[in-house]
Copies of this chain bind each other. A is one copy, B any other.
Amino acid sequence: MSADEPPGFHPSLRNPTLPRIGLMMGDMTGIGPEICAKLLASGRLDDVARIVVVGDSRVLDLGCRDAGVERPRVEFMDLGNIDPGAIPRGDISPESGRPTGETLQHMTRMALAGEIDAICFAPLNKAALHRGGWKYPDEHQMFAAFTQHEGFFGEMNVIPQFSTFRVTSHVSLRKALDMVTPQRIESAVRLAHATLRANGIGQPRIGVAALNPHCGENGLFGDEEIRIIRPTVDALREQGIGCSGPVSSDVIFLKAMKGEFDGVVMMYHDQGQIATKLLGFNKGVTVTAGLKAVYTTPAHGTAFDIVGQGKADPSALEQAVRIAARLASSGRALLSPVGP
């Protein structure tokens, strides 16, 4: 907390029933600081969450200068771990990646200790994290390690129309085929069900993708639909989970866009990513779902080409905070994604 704030007027005390969301400013070489400054200065989150920014206070000052806003009145936990004057912006920097990971690790400890209810972070740079010593295939696996998670968890991609989940992710397509098992499909559908409920959808309608072209054409083009996917979906539906499928993967996104599904569960990485990139998911929100702490982030990147110009759009970050607040409020549903 900044020393110069009169405690009685501190923004975090405005409404103690609001969830307390830790906001991390992303990799400081990117647009994170300026979109955080712009969003905080807008006051648009005042009724959504009690925000505590975690990081280096000088980085928020930098963001305010970039965004052309006065420094907003916000609770700040100053780790003093990044000197923005020492690191060039608009480029990958291990010197920025290292403390970026440290800040996220610190915030995870805060979340696990109950000091914050969820974590929202502005865009990271994966290569900078990696070069800075955080040797994980992606940030989701880093968060799983931070929370000592065992078992199924996964990336959830959110746009206003629907959300996506994956049975397999960053593995070869050949390995993904071997990982399409009843157990993983069940875990992914249950995670989708629990997370969509936590995000405010009472009775989620979940579409489960097929693996083979034309849904296998009744076994002519592969039998995973018959042997594995359909029995698993049927069994889950009998247990009260609103899922259907398998649905041909070249049709499922058209159906979801028409409003037939709240969530889509894909079998492999590109099955989802081809569609989501075309559908503008880069304006959406990415959630790490199924861990003991809630993590959300805008789906777009650090946008090195426009850093410091004050024109970066904070709206996806705003959605990320809103979703973090909703998931935090319904945390219990998220933490036990096992029942209907």
Contact = CB atoms under 8 A, between A and B. Distances in A.
A177 interface: yes
A216 interface: yes
Contact of A211 (B169, B173, B271): B173
Contacts of A172: 212-213, 216, 221-224
A278 B161 CA distance: 15
A274 B164 CA distance: 14
A234 B252 CA distance: 35
A273 B170 contact: no
A253 interface: yes
A201 interface: no
Contacts of A224: 172
B270 A251 contact: no
Contacts of A171: 213, 221-222
A172 B254 CA distance: 22
A250 interface: yes
Contacts of A5: none
Contacts of A269: 213-214
Size band of the A side of the interface?
35 or more
A217 B251 CA distance: 28
A326 to B, nearest CB: 27
A220 B248 CA distance: 28
Contacts of A273: 213, 249-250
Nearest to A221: B172
Given A169-B213, A213-B270, A213-B273, A174 B222 contact: yes
Contacts of A174: 177, 222
A207 to B, nearest CB: 14
Given A251-B277, A278-B278, 19 more contacts: A169-B213, A170-B214, A170-B217, A170-B221, A172-B216, A172-B221, A173-B211, A173-B212, A174-B177, A174-B222, A177-B177, A213-B268, A213-B269, A214-B269, A250-B273, A250-B274, A270-B271, A274-B275, A275-B278
